[in-house]
A = this chain, B = another copy of it.
């Protein structure tokens, strides 16, 4: 144990033979300080191993080098990856990341946000549980919705509908005509937008004379939901059964793969399965999962770029998803 930090700006000023104001100026950006004084102060700082007291700065500036992040569930691999990228970028900028989970509960989320706001963060990144904000927006602290849009708040997201349409195109190009869609909880915008985008594209193709049909099932975004719903889908008698399952998340898709295997069905021989997100696990499971990739890194960089003002973008920035074809989709046997 070394002894507690107690070196203040005063000690530095004393050693450098200048006033505290001068030391503060050296510390700050716009150092209008003479060269020799500057060096003297910097030497004193180094020699004393002086670290500025963040609490004092926070009190003075009413702002602290912290970024808040609220995700629905950090054990969701997609959000873990997002948090990972954000932490890395924040750390590069000398900012700490305060993490909390809303568990997809809007009331809890509001409480978490209020708690984080009391720490006077530079900004708060929120993956909203509900797209209709149910809390007063902070004036000074910057709030940015991430991955899911929220009314009245700027956002950085993937275009859910257009991305989901890619799944339709892939399956149809493979020859699938009966598709089951496993949607997410309808209170999340993303679940709704993905579903709408999916169905719209189906309808569009039908309008062009295609014989494709889609049936919608809904659950949560997690593994268990996907497994359970897929079991229901696959227990139908063969001729009427869907030949492909499109899921609103990779977790659901992985659950669906498990259900198929449990029921003795081969993926993709007996049933094609496509996910959404492209979590790391997607290319590690058996079979490797075809999915729609959300550009996590780009989204994280865009969000941080906005916070640190390096960029001046429109309020709602949407990225495009990308189809990643792997081994869980193929043409239906009867095609």
Contact = CB atoms under 8 A, between A and B. Distances in A.
A62 interface: yes
How many copies of the chain does the oligomer comprise? 2
Given A74-B84, A84-B74, A120-B55, A100 B101 contact: no
A227 interface: yes
A8 B73 CA distance: 34
A114 to B, nearest CB: 8
Interface string A193-218: 00000000000000000000000000
Interface string A44-86: 0000000111111011001010100000011101001101100
A118 B2 CA distance: 15
A18 interface: no
B84 A101 contact: yes
A1 B59 contact: no
Interface in A81-111: 81, 83-84, 87-88, 91, 94, 96-101
A112 interface: yes
Nearest to A3: B139
B54 A120 contact: yes
A7 interface: no
A23 interface: no
A206 to B, nearest CB: 35
5 contacts: A53-B59, A54-B119, A97-B98, A97-B99, A258-B286
A74 B66 contact: no
Nearest to A262: B286
A83 B97 CA distance: 13
A99 B119 contact: no
Contacts of A184: none
Given A112-B91, A137-B2, A286-B262, A55 B51 contact: no
Interface of A: 1-4, 51-56, 58-59, 62, 64, 66, 73-75, 77, 80-81, 83-84, 87-88, 91, 94, 96-101, 112, 115-116, 118-120, 136-140, 223-224, 227, 254-255, 257-258, 261-262, 280-281, 284-286
A120 B116 CA distance: 16
Contacts of A227: 284
Contact of A91 (B52, B115, B257): B115
Contacts of A140: 4
A139 B96 contact: no
A101 B85 CA distance: 10
A46 to B, nearest CB: 15
Contacts of A59: 53, 55-56, 58-59
Nearest to A108: B91
